[in-house]
Amino acid sequence: MNFVKHRYIYMAISAILIIAGICFAAVKGFNLGIDFSGGTVITIQAPKFIEEEKIRNIFKKYDNTIGIQYSGENKSDIIVKSTKDFDTTQMTEIKYALEQELSIDRTAISSDSAEPTMGKEIQRKAIISILIASALMLVYITIRFEFLFGVAAICALIHDVLITVGFYAIFSFPVNSSLIAAVLTILGYSINATIIIFDRIREERKLQPKATKEDIINSAVNHTIRRSIFTTVTTLLAVFTLYYVGVEAVKVLALPLIIGMVSGFWSSVFLAPNFWYIFCGGDEAKVAQNKR
């Protein structure tokens, strides 16, 4: 299979997804969890479905702009999100009202809160963590291979981050601190898959010193793609299992991992080698050098 020949098609597919994510983020914004926005999240495990209007009537005294999300087979699991940080007295009153008016046991009601300043601090640390991780990976690949390999790998990592975050914007998945942990994991997974292919490219260059970069890339990717597919599929099976049988805290970590691993496979196989090919000037640079 010629992976270099269709490089602009692969890049166009990724570009469309990234642009779609950016547009949704610009128009709709992100569904920020309390880790980033601050406020209070109240989780209710009701015995049956409860109409949204009844829930809003209880909360309107404290916040008339709450967000309500339903989940579960009967939509009896309810998440109420408020941008306000309810104190102990208010939470006691809310639980009492839910118990008296909607017949919900107090033990089925839990809450979590965070201050807006804490959310900004988490955002700052998250960005710093991703930048540091990317810089260290660039240094490592530059030392092990060469600088242009490192630049190509970082471009692939940026692609994976944008794709993952873009899906969160498109489908309004809640953005919380688990996403940061997942993104850092995705970076490590993706760079490992990319290094395997780059290592094979380096070997092919030694075995075929007169071959074109296009032939070297195609040979390297064709020799490693089966391994990449098997590794990705087996890892995804484990993560899918966590998502479907895990508790909510596990699901919020597994979801971005699924998106990122698929994106990481795509970028390491179809994008990273072609980024390196383009940054090196393709085979035109070699033709020009031979003419000299």
The ranges assigned to domains in the chain are 4-32+117-284, 39-114
CB 59 within 8 A of CB 111: no
- CA 72, CA 14: separation in Å to the nearest integer? 33
Give the model's pLDDT for residue 119.
Answer: 66
Give the model's pLDDT for residue 203.
Answer: 93
The answer to whether residue 54 scores a pLDDT higher than 50 is yes
The answer to whether residue 289 scores a pLDDT higher than 50 is no
Q: Which of 45-54, 119-128, 133-142, 182-191 has the lowest mean pLDDT?
A: 119-128
Could you report the per-residue pLDDT of 117-151, keeping only the tens digit for each?
A: 666 777 788 889 888 988 898 898 888 888 999 99
- Three-state SS annotation for 88-127: HHHHHHHHHHHHHHHCCCHHHEEEEEECHHHHHHHHHHHH
Whole-model pTM?
0.79
SS3 285: helix
Q: Which residues on neighbouring strands pair with residue 82, listed in sequence order?
A: 40
For residues 41-66, average pLDDT: 88
Distances (CA, A) of 42 to 46, 79, 115: 12, 6, 15
For residues 24-43, average pLDDT: 83
For 39-114, CATH gives: 3.30.70
Could you report the per-residue pLDDT of 201-231, keeping only the tens digit for each?
A: 999 999 988 889 999 999 999 999 999 999 9
For residue 212, the surrounding DSSP H or E stretch is none
Options 3.40.309.10, 1.10.3720.10, 1.20.1640.10, 3.20.20.100; which CATH number does 4-32+117-284 get? 1.20.1640.10
Give the model's pLDDT for residue 118.
Answer: 62
